[in-house]
Amino acid sequence: MQVLESGRGEMIQPPDLDAFREWNRTEKTRKLVDKRMSEAEAVSRFVTDGCYIGTELYGTVRCPMSLAREVVRQGKKDLRVCGQGVLELDLWLAAGLVKKLDVTYIGLEVYGTSSALRRAVESGQVESCVEWSNGAISWRMKATAMGVPFLPTRSMLGTDTLTYSSAKVVEDPFTGIKVCLLPALVLDVGLIHVHRADRHGNAQIEGISGFAFEMSRACKRLVISAEEIVPTDEIRKYPDRTIIPYYLVDAVVHAPYGSYPGEMAYCYGRDEAAIREWVEMSKTPEGSQAYLEKYVYSLKDHQAYLNLIGQERLAQMVEERERRE
Amino acid sequence: MEAQPYTRTELMICVAARLFQDGTTAFIGTGIPMLAAMLATKTTAPNLVPVFEFGGTGAILEDLPRAVGEARTFHKGLCASGICDTMETAQRGFIDYGFLGGAQIDCYGNLNSTTIGEHDHPRARLPGSGGGNDVGTQCWMTVAIMQHDKRRFVPKVDFVTTPGYLTGPGARQAAGLPPGTGPAYVVSTLALMDYDSAPAGASPAGTCRMRLAATHP
């Protein structure tokens, strides 16, 4: 197959599917062991300086915010970050933890562009931004999930998004059409928040599944945080709901309100005022630091964070949850 | 009935809402497209099936979603799947309309939401493609919704995040984009525009340039 065009973006994490198979053979236990631990222990053990890391779903929706804050608290640095984000990646950018980005979207949704992203990229603190579409980055994970080195798509063709990616364009040997080849993406560590998991890591999600299926199968280490830890018998009653089976998982963190101030479908709604607080404070470096001080550095752990937010406010968010009716 | 005052943005949303055909599928992005889709489902297109990129299909839009993954995007929905499913559905040709925004648009409907200035040393770093590139590639017809000002309507976008007609007639197909796809309309705060290439992407195409279809009152 002749390569017709190559994106000039850096391959931030060159895929090696044979090494990934070997990793899965030797480093991932098949035993049903208890993997429960705190945010502090999970981040300390599995998130390393310079690692290639991703979060799912994104900032205001079913996002592992308690884990994201712990990454900031422990000051993990030189992170190579994959994907889309709102509050979680903003915190990392504001804390100066991010060195490279495989970026699809980092912004504040209805509130517009991210000041933290602008400062980090425009100042050169983030050394490289490699561009992808949301579909493309998800399919890159899907390729890894399939155990193959790339997947073809028609997305990105003809655009600067492709030029500044590390994708390649070839002529399909079967039909002759041009396709964009997306390289498989193997995360060193993925962080995913779910509705419930058992102690072994069997995890279930309600509502949309985002890219949890693909990401969970595309990482060497996977840290799950869960609203609720349930007995394995509960998982066995509804095995059809398990999106992430235990053998993919390295750590299980019990994190009630783990997505706050974002939402968790059918559990709690998003706290608009709390989200706007970040939108406002992140406009300046000083404001961002004050926010991090107040909500991360000065707090010992997620429980201390929940104490600061207060039961009354959390109860109000529960009241505003999506309901099945 | 007494005349109600309205803003240009509200008028833009009303014009955009009328572009949704009833009984079609439409990929909806954050912000104004959500408002337009919501208005459409309450007026001229009650059977519109909104598709949101992170997996929500066929939601009843009772409250305005503020993000493309929140529960309102699958509220009383028909299907809650994931992003690969929705994007693959579009890639298989099942999504009729895509509604998009951006910081800049050019005369061929190319959209920029990535950087202002040179990519590696940008004057302004914008959010990036998100699902925009996929929508502009895979949906049959795309509609851009933009505030009308000179900084947004530019001769050449700084960065082609999402493909319009690229450099003009034949360019989409030469790049490998699916035949028959392309920009159909632009709705701004001042006007409705279409492209000299009706229907979208058809061959032989016209100039593929944006043109004025109607001005708002």
Alpha helices in chain B (DSSP H): 8-18, 32-42, 83-91, 132-138, 171-175
- Choosing from B53, B62, B88, B118, the catalytic residue is B53
Residue B31 predicted with pLDDT over 90: no
pLDDT at position B103 is: 95
Instruction: Give the Cα separation of A40 and B84 in Å (integer).
Output: 32
* Helix or strand run (H / E) with residue B125: strand B121-125
> Is any Cβ of chain A less than 8 angstroms from the Cβ of B156?
no
pLDDT at position A21 is: 98
Cβ neighbors of A169 (< 8 A, separation 6 or more) are A3, A4, A5, A6, A157, A162, A178, A179, A180, A181, B176
Instruction: Answer left, alpha or beta for residue B173, where phi above 0 means left and psi between -120 and 50 means alpha.
Output: alpha
Per-residue pLDDT of chain A (325 residues), as tens digits, is 899 999 999 999 999 999 999 999 999 999 999 999 999 999 999 999 999 999 999 999 999 999 999 999 999 999 999 989 999 999 999 999 999 999 999 999 999 999 999 999 999 999 999 999 999 999 999 999 999 999 999 999 999 999 999 999 999 999 999 999 999 999 999 999 999 999 999 999 999 999 999 999 999 999 999 999 999 999 999 999 999 999 999 999 999 999 999 999 999 999 999 999 999 999 999 999 999 999 999 999 999 999 999 999 999 999 999 999 8
pLDDT tens digit sequence for B66-109: 988 999 999 999 999 999 999 999 999 999 999 998 999 999 99
Is B133 within 8 Å of A156 (Cβ atoms)?
yes
Contacts of A131 in chain B (CB under 8 A): 114, 128-129, 161
pLDDT at position B2 is: 75
Task: Enter the tokens of residue B181.
Answer: 């796809």
Rounded to whole angstroms, what are the CA distances from B199 to A215, B121, B196? 39, 39, 9
Residues β-bridged to residue B115: B125
Is B172 within 8 Å of B200 (Cβ atoms)?
no
pLDDT at position B199 is: 53
Task: Enter the tokens of residue B72.
Answer: 């309102």
pLDDT at position A209 is: 97
Residue B201 predicted with pLDDT over 60: no
Is B128 within 8 Å of A103 (Cβ atoms)?
yes
Confidence grade of residue B3 (pLDDT, cut at 50, 70, 90)? confident
Chain B, nearest residue to A128 by Cα:
B120
Half-sphere exposure in the Cβ direction for A135 (13 Å, CA): 29
Amino acid at A3: V
User: Annotated catalytic, B118?
Assistant: no
What pTM did the predictor assign?
A: 0.97
pLDDT tens digit sequence for B13-29: 999 999 999 999 999 98
Whole-complex ipTM: 0.97
CATH assignment of A47-149+184-319, given 3.90.930.12, 3.40.50.720, 3.30.300.30, 3.40.1080.10? 3.40.1080.10
Q: Tell me the average pLDDT across B166-181.
A: 95
Provide the percentage of residues in chain B whose pLDDT is more than 90: 89
Residues comprising chain B, all counted: 217
Q: What are phi and psi of A278, to 5 degrees?
A: -65, -45
Task: List, as one string, the DSSP characters of A216-264.
Answer: HTSEEEEEEEEEEE--HHHHHH-GGGEEE-GGG-SEEEE-TTTTTTSBB
Is A28 within 8 Å of A221 (Cβ atoms)?
no
Place of tokens 């994106």: A7
Domain ranges of chain A: 47-149+184-319, 150-183
Instruction: Give the Cα separation of B174 and A204 in Å (integer).
Output: 44
A&B contacts, CB < 8 Å = 198
pLDDT tens digit sequence for A41-96: 999 999 999 999 999 999 999 999 999 999 999 999 999 999 899 999 999 999 99
Rounded to whole angstroms, what are the CA distances from B34 to A71, A75, A117, A178, B117? 34, 38, 25, 33, 29
Task: Enter the tokens of residue A301.
Answer: 């752990």
Task: Enter the tokens of residue A164.
Answer: 């500044």
> Is any Cβ of chain B less than 8 angstroms from the Cβ of A270?
yes
pLDDT at position B202 is: 55
Mutual orientation of helices B32-42 and B8-18 as an angle, nearest 10°? Answer: 60
Map out the domains of chain B with their CATH numbers: 8-215 (3.40.1080.10)
pLDDT at position A22 is: 98
pLDDT at position A150 is: 98
Residue B198 predicted with pLDDT over 80: no
Contacts of B171 in chain A (CB under 8 A): 158
Provide the percentage of residues in chain A whose pLDDT is more than 90: 98
pLDDT at position B1 is: 64
> Is any Cβ of chain B less than 8 angstroms from the Cβ of A94?
no
pLDDT tens digit sequence for B121-163: 999 999 999 999 999 999 999 999 999 999 999 999 999 999 9
Cβ neighbors of A206 (< 8 A, separation 6 or more) are A195, A241, A265, A266
Alpha helices in chain A (DSSP H): 17-26, 39-46, 65-73, 87-94, 115-122, 134-146, 160-163, 212-216, 232-237, 272-281, 285-292, 302-309, 311-319
- E strands, B53-114, where? 56-57, 79-80, 97-100, 104-105, 111-112
pLDDT at position A305 is: 98
Peptide bond into A57 cis (omega under 30): yes
Query: Dihedral of the CA atoms B128, B134, B135, B139 (nearest 10)?
Result: 170
Choose the mutation target among B30, B84, B108, B116 for the interface with A, i.e. most A CBs under 10 Å: B84
pLDDT at position B197 is: 80
Instruction: Give the Cα separation of A207 and B71 in Å (integer).
Output: 7
